[in-house]
Amino acid sequence: MNPYILATLLFGLGLGTTITFASSHWLLAWMGLEINTLAILPLMARHHHPRAVEATTKYFLTQATAAATILFASTTNAWLTGQWDILQMAHPIPTNMVLLSLALKIGLAPMHSWLPEVLQGLDLTTGLILSTWQKLAPFALLLQIQPNTSILIFLGLTSTLVGGWGGLNQTQLRKILAYSSIAHLGWMLLILQFAPSLTLLALLMYIIMTSSLFLIFKLNQATNINTLATSWAKSPMLASIAPLLLLSLGGLPPLSGFMPKWLILQELTKQDLPLAATFAALTALLSLYFYLRLSYTMALTLSPNSPTGTTPWRLPHLQTTMPMTIFTALSLFMLPLTPATIVLLTF
């Protein structure tokens, strides 16, 4: 791809998210989402591989459906209440319609099935953009609407359940990452109405953790569990860090992935929802199972291999490792900073 075109498309990605962030009018918010979708399509199909093109087509169809539903819902809202303001969306029908279409856009549980398929067809860098940057604009809208609480809790719980359940039988890393994304987004949606700052916190933590995992997989050029099993020979340091990172995604205590889960469970309990909290915590166990399996193949066991397979050349890496380092450090050691993070994110 021509670098000028690449720059234009990346600028389009930024522009779309910025417009959605800055808008208080539904039409502009919709425009931002559409720009986002448009700008990422050529990046997804960059290599013109049939799988990538299939993934692009699926992504386009899903996002176009969701965007059309958002437009329909906001027009209905304007028709019923006479204004286009995002924060003043009062009528329940368009509000819930917008909630469902945004759920389709970010891949929440009953509307999730496109996400693993699409992510599996992309290379890891584009997958990283798709599962981090592309979630920001829909979440900015989700934080501004006031939908029905039971629908939110239903979406959240099914997402955590399906995200854990669907990942169990996968051997492809990108599909596992997609299911992990579904599960984490479920946690965010669960707390959306009770403590929006915790949603933001969980989103930021998820972005940090998943970015470092994507970058590590990219450095190892690993797309399935088999490749992961021999990656310790390529870079032993990463092989010792990655299990901790996976456990941080699973939400185990001394690591910073525990922070959002801990605070969300605490808030849910305070809001008199012990059943939802228990169910969410139990479904996190399902996710933890496949994270554990990844860490097991990566570092907790030595799979039999030939001498040439275990002693490859360790050449200096050509790709920049600084972002990976920062994200990894953040996703391992941020738990002691919990009070400061909460203060920063409370609005």
Residue from 189, 72, 195, 178 nearest 141 by CA: 189
Tell whether residue 28 is a contact of other proteins (CB under 8 A): yes
Tell whether residue 48 is a contact of other proteins (CB under 8 A): yes
CA distance 7 to 171: 34
Residue with Cβ nearer other proteins (14 or 196): 14
Tell whether residue 82 is a contact of other proteins (CB under 8 A): no
Tell whether residue 281 is a contact of other proteins (CB under 8 A): no
Tell whether residue 39 is a contact of other proteins (CB under 8 A): yes
Tell whether residue 56 is a contact of other proteins (CB under 8 A): yes
CA distance 127 to 27: 28
Residue with Cβ nearer other proteins (65 or 321): 65
Among 19, 67, 176, 334, binds other proteins (CB under 8 A): 19
Among 53, 143, 151, 292, binds other proteins (CB under 8 A): 53
Residue with Cβ nearer other proteins (42 or 196): 42
Give CA angle at 246 (243, 247), nearest 5°. 90
Q: Look at the block and give the residue holding tokens 């993070």.
A: 341
The stretch among 29-37, 86-94, 225-233, 284-292 that binds other proteins (CB under 8 A) is 29-37
The answer to whether the CB of 77 falls within 8 A of the CB of 89 is yes
CA distance 319 to 303: 27
Tell whether residue 67 is a contact of other proteins (CB under 8 A): no
The answer to whether the CB of 268 falls within 8 A of the CB of 191 is yes
DSSP structural state of residue 86:
S
Tell whether residue 9 is a contact of other proteins (CB under 8 A): yes
Among 10, 38, 335, 345, binds other proteins (CB under 8 A): 38
Chain centroid to CA 338: 21
CA distance 221 to 319: 12
# residues contacting other proteins (CB under 8 A): 23
DSSP string, 193-220: TT-HHHHHHHHHHHHHHHHHHHHHHHHH
The stretch among 35-43, 97-105, 157-165, 166-174 that binds other proteins (CB under 8 A) is 35-43
Residue with Cβ nearer other proteins (55 or 207): 55
Minimum CB separation of residue 133 from other proteins in Å reads 17
* Cβ neighbours, 10 Å, residue 341: 19
Residues of the shown chain interacting with other proteins in the complex, contacts defined by CB under 8 A = 1, 5, 8-9, 12, 15, 19, 28, 31, 34-35, 38-39, 41-42, 45, 48-50, 52-54, 56
